[in-house]
Structure 1
Amino acid sequence: AAPAPANVAPAETVPAEPAGHVVKAPMVGTFYRAGSPGSASFVEVGQSVKVGDTLCVIEAMKLMNEIESDIAGVIKAILVDNGQAVEYGQPMFLIG
C-alpha cells in the first residue's frame, strides 16, 4: 500500500482567541454584577451596551469602582461570578 500523502495539514492545537472584545479588570478587588445586594444586575448576556455603560462594580479598599464599557456591542459572556475576587488584567466580559 502507498503511504498517505504528506501534504495533509496538522490539526490546529493553538486555542482560538475568543470572538469579540475582552473587558479586563483594571484593578484587584471584588467583582459585583449589581450596585447593591438585591438590585438588578448592570448587564446580562445578550444585552446591548454602548461606550460608557456600567458593566459591573469592583470593590477595592472599601471603595466601589464602577467599570464602564470601552466599546459598543452585545454582551457575549460574563466570565466572573458575583462576589468573586478578581486580579488585575483578569478577563471579566466578552463583548461582540
Structure 2
Amino acid sequence: MSIKKEISSPVPGVFYRRPSPEEDLYCNEGDTVKAGDTIGLVEVMKNFYEIKAEDDGVVETFNVKTDELVDAGQAVAILTLK
C-alpha cells in the first residue's frame, strides 16, 4: 500500500508551477521529487514563496492550476511517498 501526503501552500496567494512564464515547470505529475525540491510558487503582493516537497516521492496530482488562488494550508499537490 502506498502512502500519500499533501503538499500545502504556506500562505494565501496565487499559485504558479514555474519560476517564470518563459521557464519550464518545476515538475509534472508522475515526476519523482526529493525532499526540499520546489514544486511551485505562491505569490503574495509581488513576494514569491517556494512550495517544497517535504519527503521523497512521486507527484501524483496537482489540486490547483497555475494562476489559481490558494489559501494558507490548502493542498496544492498530492505526493506518493517512496
Is TM-score (shorter-chain normalized) higher than 0.5? Answer: yes
Number of residue pairs matched by the alignment: 78
Which letter maps to 2:65?
A: D
Structure having the higher Rg: 1
Q: Using the alignment, how far apart are the partners of 1:70 and 1:58 within structure 2?
A: 16
Which letter maps to 2:37?
A: D
Q: Using the alignment, how far apart are the partners of 1:91 and 1:65 within structure 2?
A: 15
Q: Using the alignment, how far apart are the partners of 1:66 and 1:89 within structure 2?
A: 14
> Does residue 50 in structure 1 map to residue 34 in structure 2?
yes
Q: Which runs of 5+ in 2 are unaligned?
A: none
Q: Is the 8 A contact 2:62 2:76 kept in 1?
A: yes
Q: Using the alignment, how far apart are the partners of 1:22 and 1:59 within structure 2?
A: 20
Higher relative contact order (CA 8 A, sep 6+): 2
Residue 20 of structure 2 corresponds to 36
Which letter maps to 2:62?
A: I
Superposition deviation, residue 66 in structure 1: 1.3
Q: Is the 8 A contact 2:8 2:51 kept in 1?
A: no
- Structure 1: 4+ residue segments shifted above 6 A: none
The alignment's TM-score, normalised by the length of structure 1, stands at 0.78
Higher strand share: 2
Residue 72 of structure 1 corresponds to 56
Residue 71 of structure 2 corresponds to 87
Q: Share of identical aligned residues, percent?
A: 31
Q: Using the alignment, how far apart are the partners of 2:40 and 2:18 within structure 1?
A: 6
Which letter maps to 2:21?
A: P
